[in-house]
Amino acid sequence: MPTKLDGKAVAAALKDELRDRVAALRERGIEPGLGTLLVGEDPGSLKYVAGKHADCAEVGIRSIRRDLPADADFGHIAAAVRDLNEDPACTGFIVQLPLPSGVDENAIIGMIDPAKDADGMHPYNLGELVLHVNGAVSTPLPCTPRGVLTLLDHYGIGLDGKHVCVLGRGITIGRTIGLLLTRRDVNATVTLCHTGTPDIEERMRQADVIIAAVGSAGFVRPDCVKPGAVLVDVGVSRVWDETAGRFRIKGDVDPACYELASAYTPNPGGVGPMTRAMLLANVVDMAERAAR
């Protein structure tokens, strides 16, 4: 039987560990704080930010929330970023995307203090990850790639010498996870596939691990999966369920693939909880580095 990689259970265990680390910091007079900057009232973003603050309450991290109206311009958003950069109570923070149309998201992300970049997506921190093939990385890591590797490690799934096929070239995971997978302590070989990749099905069939992040429900079909492969589903699509009369979240991996796999992540309940846990871990890491 294939192993279900339960992100909810692993994230809960990680939160227990983080709760102890936060308590140890508090004994030294240090209170980690996570900030969020949300512009507008997108339902998905509102729910996601609320979940982050609920996670903070679980482990004892201070929540710092900055909300701006949907018509906030670049100057107002930039001022809020500077405010969080300068706030001593804020250990690290995120700018919730997407931002309003016409606002340069990369410019806003570039204004974040790299030492407070809780998402690990600042150009400086990504550059540090590029530079360090060996040894420990002392800068924040991208949350979703870090969550994927932590989940696989928890279940004892080694990637040394494995062929990993990554589907999708988005910055959240597609373009960044290869930086972690090809470090010598992981030692995987990575093929990055996207809309310009010919024979993408054949490339999937050759892979020991498929990490799917294209946002297309059921994109990975049973005929694309090598028996015994590990399937990591990061894609999120809202699909209308006529029977239930509502939208449901669907992943990139067709559930019919599971019986062929040696291990798989459910969606939802796999990578998503790990991403949120890694955000907390980045903040605690930052507080511990500052304390040292």
Is 158 assigned a ligand-binding role in the annotation? no
Residue 155's beta-bridge partner residues? none
Give the Cβ contact number of residue 134 at 10 Å: 8
Is 168 assigned a ligand-binding role in the annotation? yes
Contacts of 245 (CB under 8 A, 6+ apart): none
Is 44 assigned a ligand-binding role in the annotation? no
Residue 198 DSSP SS3 = coil
- What gap in Å lies between CA 192 and CA 114, rounded to an integer? 27
> Among all residues, which ones are annotated catalytic?
52, 96, 119
Q: Which of 284, 290, 287, 288 is nearest to 15 (CA)?
A: 284
Q: Is the dihedral of CA 217, 51, 30, 115 positive or negative?
A: positive
Is 236 assigned a ligand-binding role in the annotation? yes
Contacts of 135 (CB under 8 A, 6+ apart): none
What is the DSSP pairing of strand 3-4 with strand 92-95? unpaired
- What gap in Å lies between CA 141 and CA 254, rounded to an integer? 29
The tokens of 90 are what? 């804020």
Give the annotated binding-site residues for NADP(+).
168-170, 236
Give the annotated binding-site residues.
168-170, 236
